[in-house]
Amino acid sequence: MNHATPLLSVHNLQVQFFMDEGIVQAVDGVSFDVFPRQVFGIVGESGCGKSVTMKAILQILEPPGRIVKGEILLNRNGSTIDLAKLNPNGKEMRDIRGAQIALIPQEPMSSFSPVHTVGDQIIEAIRLHQPVHARAARQIALEMFRDVGIPMPEQRLDEYAWQLSGGLRQRAMIAMALSCHPRLLIADEPTTAIDVTTQAQILRLLRKLQEEHHTAIIFITHDLGVIAQMADYVQVMYLGLVMEEGPVDAIFHAPKHPYTQALLRSIPSVHSTPRVNLPTISGSIPHPFNRPSGCPFHPRCPQFIAGKCDKHIPPLRSVGGVQAAACVLYHDVEVPR
Amino acid sequence: MTGTNHLPSQASTHPSAQPLLQVKNLKKYFPIQKGFFRHVLGNVRAVDDVSFFIHEGETLALVGESGCGKTTTSRCILRALTPTSGQMLFGTPDATRVDLAKLTRQELRPLRPQMQLIFQDPYSSLNPRMTLFDIVGEPLLVNGMTNRRERVERVAELLRLVGLRPEFMQRYPHAFSGGQRQRIGIARALALHPRLVVADEPISALDVSVQAQILNLMLDLQKRMNLTYLFVAHNLSVVKHISARVAVMYVGKIVETAETTELFALPKHPYTAALLAAVPVPDPRVKTGSVELKGEVPSPANPPSGCYFHPRCEFAVDVCRREAPAYRERSPGHFVACHRADELKLPGIA
Ligand SMILES: Nc1ncnc2c1ncn2[C@@H]1O[C@H](COP(=O)(O)OP(=O)(O)O)[C@@H](O)[C@H]1O
Ligand SMILES: Nc1ncnc2c1ncn2[C@@H]1O[C@H](COP(=O)(O)OP(=O)(O)O)[C@@H](O)[C@H]1O
Ligand code: SF4
Ligand code: SF4
Ligand SMILES: [Mg+2]
Ligand SMILES: [Mg+2]
């Protein structure tokens, strides 16, 4: 399907937080390619490194977090630049942020300033990347507001973020993110703080905009239902590592990794049988300072093989065709680590 | 077939005819005040004429989007709030019924141990400076178990009951994961053998991989101790799994109640059908979200005329804008507040 060159190519990204108590290995060697027009889904439970990966791409990691290894290659007009090598505060990175890659965060409340109207903030963002006057920028903002389905857009432009409902605020955020026509949109749990009917509206809107603008999207969530509905290709993360990846249909209908399999079996769904115990995953996600040796899922894995799974981190390798899994059941590991 | 069964399937195993809890026309209004003299400008009708019942040993789920009044309803039942009006009849063990809405603090005290709450957030609801022994043992101490040895034994028993090791008794909550903390909260809630347990979104703050553990634990405990649950959730998928019946709330009112499988398969209220359609199904071959519910939930301070759902309802007709629909039993055990409930054929989930 994708013979094209990837828009974004992340290679062996490692991000660590250097804390007084020790080092948090937040992202531990993650690689992926995002192709033009693709909705690339990343799913994983809280703390698995989804947001940190995105912050690394945008170079907005807060200290004590640092990219310690890896490449983040952005394809721009046929040439590639490594974002990991750019100065986070330099002009080049600032130009890329917003204009090439835009972010829709989980909680738009904290991303909008409470002392400026949402309109002023979007106008400012537009003028940062496009040589237009304030009036023209306002016109663009107004059109964006219409595009994302905000009722009474003119009036809303002059309101503050706190005056908007959760759903409208997220729409305003989407308008801001799309106002400079980015080629890649990062949606980091964009509907987690929102109710289901509003979530359905926002997901529908994102899909429509994606089709119209041909934007590629990295869609991040912990919700397997949302990822199934939104993504073309899915990467499953656990404790800073990719457990499995593949086209969405393969991940949901032929999961290979024990973590993906167990997760899919255990989630309560509208299709589950009432009042019958669900299969569960034992234990809980380890504390980041308490990372298990070897495969990070081994203390909870029903197929754990002592002496093997706890010795080496299994690399992510192809398990037939387009799907890949990081598990010794599919690949024997000799490489010590 | 469930629809022909007058008594909810689960409750029918408990022959006691009277429900453990019967809520009738419950209202809770919060005054909107302004200025120095605190003039009352209007009311937030957080709970607006709500009626339902729960049989002993049964689980009723209360479902709705945020702000629809679920927490306010729960807090009224536990009498953390005093209702504006209405009745909340609670069956005491000697088979008499008391109206929780009318009791004074003094009169409530002996009943409090029988009604307990499981909180949503296992992080903020446990005092970080208390050990597990103190947290779980506190209600025992307050209720007269002054002998420490006795308390240690009972706390150990409770911890085992919820799947925690009694050796953890001297540890503090921070040493535990979210799921384990929720178990601690459950142990504390069960310390005094409650009959009614109100669980306000007990798994929504938990990681996906531990949600099923807590749901299973709640199901197991219910079977072992004949507990009665009011299970509050904003998520219909969770509810399918745990409850015998479901009540759907919208802007302070219950719009539909039915036995769980019936509600999912044959919803009769357009809002219920919309909620079902909005749930993203974890299967890429099943495309959800094709029917879109437009607009937003109105404020309970200023609800629309007639049926509160009419501005968003694709089936609305004139009468919907004028008259509030009555909440009536349309088929045995299936209550709906919609003018067109009998004629509409709404899609459900098998
Ligand atoms: N500012 C920070 N300081 C220390 N550790 C952090 C910080 N931000 C994230 N982390 C750690 O990095 C890991 C990944 O976090 P994150 O990417 O936010 O997870 P999520 O998948 O939920 O988005 C977690 O273990 C978290 O504790
Ligand atoms: N103490 C209060 N004063 C005023 N309004 C309140 C108060 N508590 C809740 N409300 C309002 O009542 C409505 C219902 O709230 P709540 O019961 O918390 O809903 P839910 O639990 O379903 O999200 C909301 O509009 C909320 O803002
Ligand atoms: S590597 Fe071992 S522990 Fe990890 S998922 Fe595979 S079988 Fe389970
Ligand atoms: S009463 Fe009318 S507006 Fe309300 S849900 Fe029924 S059809 Fe829709
Ligand atoms: Mg995150
Ligand atoms: Mg609530």
Portion of chain A with pLDDT greater than 90, in percent: 76
A62 CB within 6 A, ligand 1: yes
Chain A partners of B235 at a C-beta cutoff of 8 Å?
A: 196
> So what's the pLDDT on residue A3?
60
* Rounded Cα–Cα distance for residues B86 and B65 (Å): 23
Which is higher by pLDDT, B291 or A117?
A117
A47 CB within 6 A, ligand 1: yes
Contacts of B282 (CB under 8 A, 6+ apart): A224, A225, A227, A228, A252, A264, A267, A269
C-beta of residue B229 within 8 angstroms of C-beta of residue B21: no
- pLDDT band (50, 70, 90) for residue B203: very high
> So what's the pLDDT on residue A242?
98
**How does strand B97-99 pair with strand B253-259?**
unpaired
**Mean pLDDT for all residues in chain B:** 91
Q: Give me the residues of B, 186-205, that contact A with CB < 8 A.
A: none
> So what's the pLDDT on residue A320?
81
Out of B215, B287, B293, the one facing A268 most closely (by C-beta) is B215
* Mean pLDDT calculated for residue range B236-246: 92
Peptide bond preceding A315 in cis form (omega within 30 of 0): no
Task: In chain B, list all ranges with CATH 3.40.50.300.
Answer: 21-250
* Mean pLDDT calculated for residue range B170-195: 93
- pLDDT band (50, 70, 90) for residue A337: very low
Is pLDDT at B2 greater than 50 in this prediction? no
Tens-place pLDDT, residues B32-69: 887 777 777 889 999 999 999 999 999 999 999 999 99
Instruction: Rank A9-13, A73-77, B231-235, B240-244 by mean pLDDT and report only the highest.
Output: A9-13
Kindly write down the DSSP assignment for every residue of B131-191, as one continuous string. Answer: -HHHHHHHHHHHTT---HHHHHHHHHHHHHHTT--GGGGGS-GGGS-HHHHHHHHHHHHHT
Is pLDDT at A109 greater than 80 in this prediction? no
Which is higher by pLDDT, B6 or B60?
B60
Structure tokens given for B10: 């689960």
- pLDDT band (50, 70, 90) for residue B160: very high
Nearest to B276 by CA among B290, B284, B121: B290
Which is higher by pLDDT, B15 or B214?
B214
3-state secondary structure of B87: strand
* Mean pLDDT calculated for residue range A189-215: 90
A105 CB within 6 A, ligand 1: no
**Mean pLDDT for all residues in chain A:** 92
CB contact under 8 A, B237 and A229: no
A309 CB within 6 A, ligand 3: yes
Tens-place pLDDT, residues B100-158: 999 999 999 999 999 999 988 888 889 999 999 999 999 999 999 999 999 999 999 99
Give domain B21-250's CATH superfamily: P-loop containing nucleotide triphosphate hydrolases (3.40.50.300)
Kindly write down the DSSP assignment for every residue of A74-125, as one continuous string. Answer: EEETTEEEEGGGS-TTSHHHHHHHHHTEEEE-S-HHHHS-TTS-HHHHHHHH
Out of B178, B209, B349, the one facing A270 most closely (by C-beta) is B349
Beta-ladder partners of A39: A217
Q: Which of A108-117, B43-52, B214-223 has the lowest mean pLDDT?
A: A108-117
Where do the H-state alpha helices sit in chain A? 50-58, 91-99, 108-111, 118-129, 134-147, 153-157, 166-178, 196-213, 224-230, 248-253, 258-266
A182 CB within 6 A, ligand 3: no
Long-range CB contacts for residues B104-111, cutoff 8 Å, separation at least 24: B108/B79
Chain B partners of A277 at a C-beta cutoff of 8 Å?
A: 216, 219-220
> So what's the pLDDT on residue B16?
53
Q: Write down all domains in chain A, each with its CATH number in brackets.
A: 1-100+184-198+214-239 (3.40.50.300), 108-181 (no CATH)
Tens-place pLDDT, residues A209-226: 999 988 999 999 999 999
Nearest to A69 by CA among A12, A112, A24, A146: A12
Ligand 2 atom having least distance to the Cα of B252: 14
* Rounded Cα–Cα distance for residues B261 and B335 (Å): 14
Chain B partners of A198 at a C-beta cutoff of 8 Å?
A: 65, 296
Ligand 4 centre from B60 Cα, in Å? 24
- Whether B224 contacts chain A with CB within 8 A: no
A–B CB contacts, 8 A cutoff, strictly below? 160
Is pLDDT at B83 greater than 90 in this prediction? yes
Is pLDDT at A334 greater than 90 in this prediction? no
First to last CA, chain B: 13
* Mean pLDDT calculated for residue range A95-116: 88
- pLDDT band (50, 70, 90) for residue B273: very high
CB contact under 8 A, B293 and A228: no
- pLDDT band (50, 70, 90) for residue B92: confident
> So what's the pLDDT on residue B323?
97
- Whether B12 contacts chain A with CB within 8 A: no
**How does strand A184-188 pair with strand A101-104?**
parallel
Is pLDDT at A45 greater than 60 in this prediction? yes
Contacts of A280 (CB under 8 A, 6+ apart): A266, B212, B213, B216
CA of A235, closest CA in chain B: separation in Å?
A: 15
Is pLDDT at B190 greater than 70 in this prediction? yes
> H or E element: which one contains A29?
strand A22-34
ipTM over 0.85: yes
Is pLDDT at B7 greater than 60 in this prediction? no
Is pLDDT at B3 greater than 50 in this prediction? no
Nearest to B337 by CA among B297, B306, B312: B306
Is pLDDT at A271 greater than 70 in this prediction? yes
Is pLDDT at B5 greater than 70 in this prediction? no
**How does strand B21-34 pair with strand B85-91?**
antiparallel
C-alpha B184, offset from chain centre: 20
First to last CA, chain A: 35
- pLDDT band (50, 70, 90) for residue A106: confident
Structure tokens given for B157: 């028993």
Is pLDDT at B14 greater than 70 in this prediction? no
Structure tokens given for A183: 């080629």
Is pLDDT at B8 greater than 60 in this prediction? no
Structure tokens given for A170: 């997220």
> So what's the pLDDT on residue B25?
97
